[in-house]
Structure 1
Amino acid sequence: MRELRNMMAVSVILFIGVLLTASGSAQNHPVVKHIPADHYETREIVINPVETGEHVRNREETIRIYAASKRQTKTMRVQTGRRQPAKKEQQQPSETFNKKGTVNKVATKSKKESKPAATGDAPSKPQAPAAPPGTPAPKPAQPPVAETRLSGRTGQILTVVASGSRAHIEFWEKKGQSWVRSLSTDGHVGTNGIGPTREGMSRTPYGAYPLGFAFGTENPGTSLPFRKITPQSWWVEDSKDPQYNTWQEGAHFHAPSEHLADYPLQYRYAVVINYNTARKPFAGSGFFVHVDNGRPTAGCVSLPEGEMKKLLQILHPGAYIINVNGEEEIRRF
């Protein structure tokens, strides 16, 4: 029995020697593994092959805890006042060791991509709610003549807006509560434009005046009182004549009186501008609206023949003319 115990002791001693020899060899040649701890750094973990399984499990747990603590936090970029989503992270494999000392690759879940921020133009303004049924439509914008004092006294206004000796001419009529343009054309005024005037100045009188009777070589069908020109028809413009600034029939009147029959083109269709009805000498006389001959006038307003004929056909007694140098001036009257 004693010899058996001695043999077992010698075997144990030999086994321990073998183990110690292997251990020394392993310590001289350690195994090095690279394990990504997170997305940005790599750590070297040295594991001795003689470590027990419990030691390996402890190392694996330590590695996982370290990697989790170093994970990148969610980031957001800010650009031009709007939030931008962080870039989607790709899955990165992590490495652990099993009991046999080999590497296990485990795919880690990528972080959830943040919801995309709103992009594009700013949201459009909400539209105004539709008007309920039965709501009257808004009134259209009215022309300057609607804002004049004259609009309360007459339903017809001829506007003449000059630029030098040229002019833009429009005829407005009141229809119900609105003013409607019935005629629009270009023509001429006096050689010296529109402004304060007197006899012989070749300037169209500035301001608002009633339109008087119509006259011409033929009646186009006007509702105004009409006088037809004869060989004896004159407009007296001699300031010394008691009949100054009136229509007269006669053989002769002193200059600068006007023999109407000498102007068959201009006076084919015409209407009197009631200026200086008090017949103050030298204040000015003989101002009409008549047919245009393509040149400036001596103080009258002229427009193309077709438009002049139409004007006489739609004019009614009580109409006014407004002579100005800018459209904004119409409101003054």
Structure 2
Amino acid sequence: MSLAACGGSGDADNSAKADAGAGGRAESAEAQKGDPTRIPDVGDRLQKQIPAESRQVVAVYGEGKDDADATIVLYTKSGGAWKKTRGWEGHNGKKGWTTDHREGDRRSPVGVFTLSDAGGVLADPGAKLPYSRSASFQAPHYWAESHWHDFDYVIAIDYNRVKGTSPIDPTRPEGQSKGGSIWLHMDHGSGTSACVSLSKSGMEYLLRTLDPARHPVIVMGDRAQLKV
């Protein structure tokens, strides 16, 4: 498996972004006035792809098609209504987003994907998802030092992978050209090669909160594509 498919290329970075908290960019006035039975600012196309049994949705709102900045929001469903649980600032692919992801395009795939497996270099922080600890997650040290801890914690995004395996399983059912090894992982302050990144505290929170019994999924894309 190629960690470069998920992490940065080793470019120098600026300081990492902090948690957005309750004031994240996704929490617009318009979103708060929306239908509570729907994920805010997500149109019918992707809304319909969220499984009926899902009770946890990680929504990734990319700032633009060619932009690497994103807001990550965890929504929890209770009594038929989706409620914002927590939000963070983070990043997506260096070149933005695509509806036809290809290996090496440095764009994150737009879509709805399940979240089934986790792992990392560090010990399990209390994850509810199956967690695989391995030194094999370690980012190469020829990358910029700011990237070395990217994979201390990861959550596999079920894009072109086999569910129920470690995130570092290299199997790609749809072929190598469709890319893979796309994860939620720790942020290094700039865009990734295709993954979604957020703060260490954010990753710890998601690992301790995402529950297989609640069928968590991720809805991700730039704001324009999300609204279609």
- TM normalised by structure 1 equals 0.46
CA distance in 2, matches of 1:283, 1:328: 20
The answer to whether residue 178 in structure 2 is matched with residue 275 in structure 1 is no
Check conservation: 2:97, 2:108, Cα contact below 8 A: yes
Match of 1:211 among 112, 115, 119: 115
- Measured after TM superposition, the shift of residue 281 of structure 1 is 2.1
Bigger relative contact order, structure 1 or 2 (CA pairs below 8 A, ≥6 apart): 2
Corresponding position of 1:299: 194
CA distance in 2, matches of 1:261, 1:268: 12
Q: Deviations over 1:42-97 (max 9, x none)?
A: xxxxxxxxxxxxxxxxxxxxxxxxxxxxxxxxxxxxxxxxxxxxxxxxxxxxxxxx
| 1:265 to 1:320, Cα distance in 2 relative to 1, 3 A | same
Check conservation: 1:158, 1:172, Cα contact below 8 A: yes
Check conservation: 1:161, 1:327, Cα contact below 8 A: no
Check conservation: 2:108, 2:221, Cα contact below 8 A: no
Check conservation: 1:144, 1:327, Cα contact below 8 A: no
Q: Deviations over 1:210-235 (max 9, x none)?
A: 112110122111110000022xx26x
| 1:279 to 1:218, Cα distance in 2 relative to 1, 3 A | farther
Q: Deviations over 1:141-183 (max 9, x none)?
A: 4164277221513111111111210001101111122111111
CA distance in 1, matches of 2:134, 2:95: 28
Corresponding position of 2:16: none
Corresponding position of 1:329: 226
Question: What CA RMSD, in Å, does the superposition of the two structures yield over aligned residues?
Answer: 2.4
Corresponding position of 2:72: 169
- Measured after TM superposition, the shift of residue 190 of structure 1 is 0.5
Identity %: 27
- TM normalised by structure 2 equals 0.66
Match of 1:198 among 85, 98, 102: 102
- List structure 1 segments (4+ residues) > 4 angstroms apart after TM superposition: 259-264
Check conservation: 1:229, 1:260, Cα contact below 8 A: no
Structure 1 residue runs without a partner (length 5+): 1-139, 235-258
CA distance in 2, matches of 1:279, 1:260: 25
SS in 1 for 2:83: strand
Q: Deviations over 1:219-271 (max 9, x none)?
A: 111110000022xx26xxxxxxxxxxxxxxxxxxxxxxxx6575651111110
Check conservation: 2:160, 2:180, Cα contact below 8 A: yes
SS in 1 for 2:205: helix
Structure 2 residue runs without a partner (length 5+): 1-33, 142-146, 162-172
